[in-house]
Amino acid sequence: MRLKLIHNIMVLLDGKKTAKSLKDEIAKDVVQMIDNEIEAPHLVAILVGDDPASQTYVSAKEKACQSVGITSSIYRLPSKTTEEELLQTVDFLNNDKEVDGFIVQLPLPKHINEQRIIESIDPAKDVDGFHPVNVGKMALGIDAYLPATPAGIIELLKRYDIETEGKHCVVLGRSNIVGSPISIMMGQKKNPGNSTVTLCHSKTKNIKQIAASADILIVAIGKPEFVTADMVKPDAVVIDVGIHRVPSKKTKSGFKLIGDVKFDEVSKKASYITPVPGGVGPMTIAGLLANTLKAAKINRGIN
């Protein structure tokens, strides 16, 4: 008897739920530190200017810290802050023994050289993993602070036991924060990893065909609903890093959040897919908390 081939049932990669269990693990470690009369980890976020998205992200990070017992502070600086003033703030935090790790929320106002600021952060306190020392260590596969979004994606693949070895992983977007590091990590001799990686960007020819050849498609291109069903191989694993606030007549607020992937049609074709919101976003925040806990453990001599 011939059996009819049935497509896999799509599985939603629930970042919210996965991040919650990660946060529970972090909270347990923090409680143990406090029980042993060891100071809780302390994270500082520097926020320059009044970019609404950055304000939302920083508030979300602060809330997440509170939920796991990590002490958090926000340094709010006006948009007219000079590069020198910001460098002084970074220098202050580099030397503040009370602070385990800190981040400078990006993007910065145009008059500030972002790379110069990143390079001024002490790599030992760089819980974003953006300093060249941490980026270099990550690329070499040496223990380092990993950037939170790629680390969150790897953790999601791991916790859902998704096979990556020998698979064709296509990454759309080559940003320093997501596309570039995740393309390196997916090709490393690890699990998750061991994929054959193609990194696509604004100058890539035949991006649609390349995307459609992916077993694992990671989309961090910053364009709302860029990936349509015709760009996805049946049963592919689709990871959507995009987040865009767009007007909607269907919601009370008049807005909704969408990703870089056209979810309605792509979810019918994928084997696994991350929703927006509730996919990669919560995993990013959990990754930052994990790095802060790691910094605090190093500072207090706990392994």
Amino acid at 97: K
Q: Which stretch binds ligand GUN (CB under 6 A): 4-12, 100-108, 164-172, 202-210?
A: 100-108
* Sole binder of ligand GUN in the list 12, 77, 106, 257 (CB under 6 A): 106
21 vs 15, 64, 159, CA distance in Å? 10, 13, 10
**In 71-216, which residue ranges form alpha helices assigned H by DSSP?**
83-95, 114-120, 132-140, 148-159, 179-187, 207-211
Amino acid at 225: E
CA distance 266 to 28: 37
* φ/ψ (deg, to 5) at 79: -65, -20
127 binds ligand GUN (CB under 6 A): no
Sheet with 101-104, side-by-side order of all strands: 71-77, 42-48, 101-104
Query: Measured from the CB atom, is 128 or 240 closer to ligand GUN?
Result: 128
Q: Which stretch binds ligand GUN (CB under 6 A): 75-83, 102-110, 151-159, 268-276?
A: 102-110
List CB contacts of 244: < 8 A, sequence separation 6 or more.
224, 257, 258, 259, 260
Task: Establish whether the linkage from the previous residue to 181 is cis, with ω within 30° of 0.
Answer: no
Reading the block at residue 38, the tokens are 């060891």
x/- letters, 136..175, toward ligand GUN (CB under 6 A): ------------xx--------------------------
CB of 224 to ligand GUN, least distance (A): 17
x/- letters, 213..232, toward ligand GUN (CB under 6 A): --------------------
Q: CA dihedral in degrees (189, 299, 100, 110; nearest 10)?
A: -50
CB of 128 to ligand GUN, least distance (A): 5
233 vs 199, 208, 229, 258, CA distance in Å? 17, 11, 8, 21
Query: Measured from the CB atom, is 222 or 278 closer to ligand GUN?
Result: 222
77 binds ligand GUN (CB under 6 A): no
CA distance 210 to 168: 10
In angstroms, how far is CA 163 from the centroid of its own chain?
Answer: 20
CB neighbour burial string for 136-150, b if at least 16 within 10 angstroms, e if fewer: ebbeeeeebbbbbbb
* Sole binder of ligand GUN in the list 64, 177, 236, 289 (CB under 6 A): 177
Active site residues: 61, 105, 128
CB of 86 to ligand GUN, least distance (A): 13
CB of 8 to ligand GUN, least distance (A): 32
CB of 121 to ligand GUN, least distance (A): 10
Asked whether the beta carbons of 13 and 160 are under 8 A apart, the reply is yes
Query: Measured from the CB atom, is 68 or 103 closer to ligand GUN?
Result: 103
Query: Measured from the CB atom, is 14 or 51 closer to ligand GUN?
Result: 51
72 binds ligand GUN (CB under 6 A): no
128 binds ligand GUN (CB under 6 A): yes
Query: Measured from the CB atom, is 12 or 133 closer to ligand GUN?
Result: 133
* Sole binder of ligand GUN in the list 103, 151, 227, 283 (CB under 6 A): 103
CB of 105 to ligand GUN, least distance (A): 5
105 binds ligand GUN (CB under 6 A): yes
100 binds ligand GUN (CB under 6 A): no
Q: Which residues bind ligand GUN (CB under 6 A)?
A: 103-106, 128, 148-149, 177
